[in-house]
């Protein structure tokens, strides 16, 4: 492999971010390599979603640098970051409720070459067959799980090199969580899609991910492979106690 | 209060007593509300103002409220569901009733609009009302781009209308440019002002955006009022030239006149009908352009931005450009409308561009069902046409004067009251406006149907 390929796809170096005077991220360092699934776990308010949003430029990183594929994207506008091949399924899904499933998917493909639209559509319908059935229904009328699927499918329509998912398991039944995580694994194994996953559901996320980070009060306190973290007493006590 | 009394009352025999009690409460409320507003009137008396008491009006209002409430309670409202059940059922019936109608209504309306000047009913007054209605249809469709599609609440739309009107008035009176030259220019100038408004409000949403756009509308009006050297201030600009038909003028005498060229008798109606067709074509162009834009990436981006701005940015859509194009295109149509207004009136002054105009245009968009082209047209016809009808309702005048003993009753003075009532009724009955459905812009296969708004919450659709 060339030296370029050796370099991580995403590097976050010493990033701090603030909401007004409140510091949400403290000197966060992390990397995501090509073809990896990396997860960031942490409790409510640990700064997981902030990290995700900071990658997309809002809130701005007040210090540190975010480098994607060798390009410094710190402070770039969100739409330009998206144009570099990062797609995200944001916190709270944020699908377009009044638009139909098809229109939502079409919005996802706004940046992609229209030539691939049909093929990409078939691919996401294969991954999430329920969306095909619901294609002419309004996004807002879907169930929570279907909306989550739509959010992921919409992100995939952009043909991303790097997929960011913010709590895809939030508010979903265990069976649906498994279904969605299976799709993420499939995308990673079959297509080599790089995935960064922010999760509260530590057990599932760590089982799925190659590597993981633990975020506490805006600071990365632990990192390691998924199994390593799962085996750690502190992780078990803090995030897995009381069952899965 | 009414819920509590309803629950505590025994079933069956107590119903009438309960209804009477409730109606008595309502009548009491009516007394409180009407005692000063209807019951007392200031009149000129020797040595200052005197009071005239009109208790018969108060009693009349109380009786109407009492009987009305009693009848509603006994025969209309359902026992446990209360008012919403009846309202919901009514709107459901309405929806199924209008569904097949809607498919033909829009083309029928367009055809009607095109043949109207040749129908036997079309006298000067009808055509004038038609012109006025179509002006508001055009403005409604223009504002619909900003409010209905892009979801940016704009309370100062009249500013662009004013920019269009003054552009034509000034360019025509100073430089002798013709209507057809200035028309696109006025649109472009208004679009430019749309961008100028757009920049400072890029980061504002909802209420804050509404306040700033409201202020913008007022600023434009105040500038027109005070910049006397250019705009002639409150005196306005008069002698604005009329449009010509491919160089032919609508004058009784002269060389190049319309009736001479076609060898027909002169009639003042020709010009009116010509104006009618100008605004009709302008409105149709607006509609066509908007419908096309909706299917293009920029139109879809508008709608997506209305739904969720953050998600839009994450999908790589430049929301800055998207907002500015929405403001600019909406303003462009406003400018066309303004130009037309100037050439039709022949005289403009800042008085024509007050906040109430913005409010009426916005009301048309909201009543019509935000984002629905057909709904906006229906709302414009109902509101503007309705107002004009009020001016001519002599029987209402006669009826009110004879029954209530009010002198000089002018139904037209009550139009704002009726307008307010209409708004309340529509918002209760059909919270999404006349046409609460929207046509998706993309389909797989042949299935093509409107997506009803009833399935999602108001906030989401």
Q: Express each pLDDT in B5-48 by its tens digit.
A: 444 444 456 778 888 888 999 999 999 988 888 888 888 878 77
In this structure, the answer to whether residues B105 and B182 fall within a common structural domain is yes
Task: Name the residue range of residue B40's domain.
Answer: 3-76
Could you tell me if B456 lies within 8 Å of chain A, comparing CB atoms? yes
Q: Please judge whether A103 and B440 are an interchain contact, meaning their C-beta atoms are less than 8 angstroms apart.
A: yes
Confidence at residue B63, expressed as pLDDT on a 0 to 100 scale: 92
How far apart are the CA of B227 and the nearest CA of chain A, in angstroms?
A: 40
How is residue A38 written in tokens?
Answer: 């990396």
Using CB atoms, which residue from A87, A88, A110 is nearest to B297?
A: A110
A216 backbone dihedrals φ, ψ, rounded to 5°: -130, 125
Residue B406 belongs to some domain of the structure: no
Residue B19 CB: number of other CB atoms within 10 A?
20
Q: Please judge whether A56 and B313 are an interchain contact, meaning their C-beta atoms are less than 8 angstroms apart.
A: yes
Confidence at residue B107, expressed as pLDDT on a 0 to 100 scale: 86
Chain B residues with CB-CB distance to A108 below 8 A: 315
Could you tell me if A133 lies within 8 Å of chain B, comparing CB atoms? no
In this structure, the answer to whether residues A156 and A168 fall within a common structural domain is no
Q: Please judge whether B313 and A107 are an interchain contact, meaning their C-beta atoms are less than 8 angstroms apart.
A: no
Bigger pLDDT: B448 vs B152: B152
Q: Please judge whether A99 and B440 are an interchain contact, meaning their C-beta atoms are less than 8 angstroms apart.
A: yes
SS3 content of chain B, % helix, strand, coil (to 5): 70, 5, 25
Bigger pLDDT: A215 vs B260: A215
- A-facing residues of B in 435-454 (CB < 8 A) are 438, 440-444, 447, 449, 451
Across residues B74-102, what is the average pLDDT? 54
Evaluate the CA torsion angle B16, B21, B27, B29 in order and state its sign.
negative
Confidence at residue B445, expressed as pLDDT on a 0 to 100 scale: 55
Bond into B114 cis (ω within 30): no
What is d(CA B420, CA B426) in angstroms, rounded to the nearest whole number? 10
> Which domain-ending residue is among B58, B76, B94?
B76
Task: Name the residue range of residue A171's domain.
Answer: 3-85+162-240
Residue A102 belongs to some domain of the structure: yes
Q: Express each pLDDT in B278-287 by its tens digit.
A: 999 999 999 9
In this structure, the answer to whether residues A187 and A203 fall within a common structural domain is yes
CATH code for the domain of A184: 3.40.50.300
> Which domain-ending residue is among A134, A160, A186?
A160
Instruction: Work out how many CB contacts closer than 8 A connect A with B.
Output: 102
- Look at chain B and report how many structural domains it folds into: 2
Could you tell me if A90 lies within 8 Å of chain B, comparing CB atoms? yes
Could you tell me if B461 lies within 8 Å of chain A, comparing CB atoms? yes
- Look at chain A and report how many structural domains it folds into: 2
In this structure, the answer to whether residues A104 and A50 fall within a common structural domain is no
Residue A91 belongs to some domain of the structure: no
Bigger pLDDT: B134 vs B404: B134
Bigger pLDDT: B69 vs B396: B69
In this structure, the answer to whether residues A65 and A15 fall within a common structural domain is yes
In this structure, the answer to whether residues B14 and B154 fall within a common structural domain is no
Q: Please judge whether B308 and A77 are an interchain contact, meaning their C-beta atoms are less than 8 angstroms apart.
A: no
Categorize the per-residue pLDDT at B228 as very low, low, confident or very high, splitting at 50, 70 and 90: very high
> Which domain-ending residue is among B19, B47, B76?
B76
């Amino acid at each position: 492999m060339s030296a370029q390929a050796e370099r991580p796809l995403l590097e976050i170096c010493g990033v701090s971010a603030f909401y007004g005077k409140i510091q949400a991220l403290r000197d966060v360092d992390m990397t995501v390599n090509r073809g990896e699934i990396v997860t960031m776990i942490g409790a409510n308010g640990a700064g997981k979603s902030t990290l995700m949003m900071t990658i997309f430029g809002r809130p701005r990183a007040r210090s540190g640098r975010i480098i994607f594929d060798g390009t410094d994207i710190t402070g770039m506008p969100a739409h330009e970051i998206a144009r570099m091949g990062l797609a995200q399924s944001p916190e709270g899904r944020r699908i377009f409720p009044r638009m139909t499933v098809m229109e939502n998917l079409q919005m996802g493909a706004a940046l992609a070459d229209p030539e691939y639209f049909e093929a990409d559509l078939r691919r996401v319908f294969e991954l999430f067959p329920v969306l095909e059935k619901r294609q002419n229904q309004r996004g807002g009328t879907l169930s929570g799980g279907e909306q989550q699927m739509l959010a992921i499918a919409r992100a995939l329509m952009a043909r991303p090199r790097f997929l960011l998912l913010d709590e895809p398991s939030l508010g979903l039944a265990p069976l649906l969580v498994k279904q969605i995580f299976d799709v993420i694994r499939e995308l990673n194994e079959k297509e080599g899609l790089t995935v960064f996953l922010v999760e509260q559901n530590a057990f599932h996320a760590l089982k799925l991910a190659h590597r993981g980070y633990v975020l506490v009060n805006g600071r990365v306190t632990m990192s390691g492979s998924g199994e390593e973290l799962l085996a750690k007493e502190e992780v078990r006590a803090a995030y897995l106690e009381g069952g899965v | 209060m009414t819920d509590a009394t309803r629950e505590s009352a025994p079933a069956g025999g107590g119903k009438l007593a309960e209804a009477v009690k409730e109606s008595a409460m309502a009548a009491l409320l009516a007394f409180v509300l009407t005692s000063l507003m209807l019951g007392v009137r200031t009149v000129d008396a020797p040595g200052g103002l005197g009071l005239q008491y009109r208790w018969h009006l108060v009693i009349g209002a109380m009786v109407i409220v009492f009987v009305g409430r009693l009848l509603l309670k006994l025969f209309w409202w359902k026992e446990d569901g209360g008012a919403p059940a009846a309202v919901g059922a009514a709107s459901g019936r309405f929806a199924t009733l209008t569904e097949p109608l809607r498919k033909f209504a829009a083309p029928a309306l367009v055809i009607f609009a095109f043949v109207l000047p040749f129908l036997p009913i079309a006298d000067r007054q009808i055509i004038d009302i038609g012109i006025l209605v179509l002006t508001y249809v055009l403005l409604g469709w223009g504002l619909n781009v900003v409010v209905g599609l892009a979801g940016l609440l704009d309370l100062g739309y009249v500013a662009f209308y004013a920019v269009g009107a003054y552009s034509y008035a000034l360019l025509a009176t100073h430089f002798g440019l013709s209507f057809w030259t200035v028309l696109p220019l006025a649109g472009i100038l208004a679009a430019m002002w749309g961008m100028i408004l757009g920049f400072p409000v890029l980061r504002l949403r909802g209420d804050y955006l509404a306040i700033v756009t409201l202020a913008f509308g007022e600023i434009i009006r105040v500038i027109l009022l005070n910049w006397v050297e250019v705009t002639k201030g409150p005196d306005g600009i008069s002698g604005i030239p009329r449009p010509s038909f491919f160089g032919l003028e609508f004058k009784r005498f002269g060389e190049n006149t319309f009736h001479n060229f076609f060898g027909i008798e002169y009639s003042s109606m020709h010009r009116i009908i010509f104006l009618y067709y100008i605004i009709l074509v302008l409105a149709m162009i607006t509609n066509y352009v908007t419908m096309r834009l909706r299917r293009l990436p920029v139109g879809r981006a508008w709608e997506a931005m209305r739904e969720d701005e953050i998600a839009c940015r994450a999908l790589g859509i430049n929301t800055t450009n998207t907002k500015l194009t929405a403001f600019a295109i909406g303003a462009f149509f406003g400018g066309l409308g303004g130009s037309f207004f100037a050439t039709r009136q022949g005289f403009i002054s800042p008085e024509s561009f007050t906040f109430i105009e913005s409010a009426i245009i916005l009301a048309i968009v909201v009543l019509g069902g935000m984002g629905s082209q057909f709904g906006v047209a229906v709302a414009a016809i109902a509101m503007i046409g309705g107002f004009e009808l009020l001016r001519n309702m002599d029987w209402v005048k006669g009826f009110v004067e004879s029954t209530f003993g009010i002198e000089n009753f002018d139904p037209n003075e009550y139009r704002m009251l009726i307008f307010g009532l209409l708004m309340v009724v529509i918002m209760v009955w059909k919270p999404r406006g006349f046409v609460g459905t929207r046509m998706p812009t993309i389909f797989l296969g042949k299935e093509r149907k409107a997506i009803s708004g009833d399935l999602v919450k108001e906030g989401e659709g």
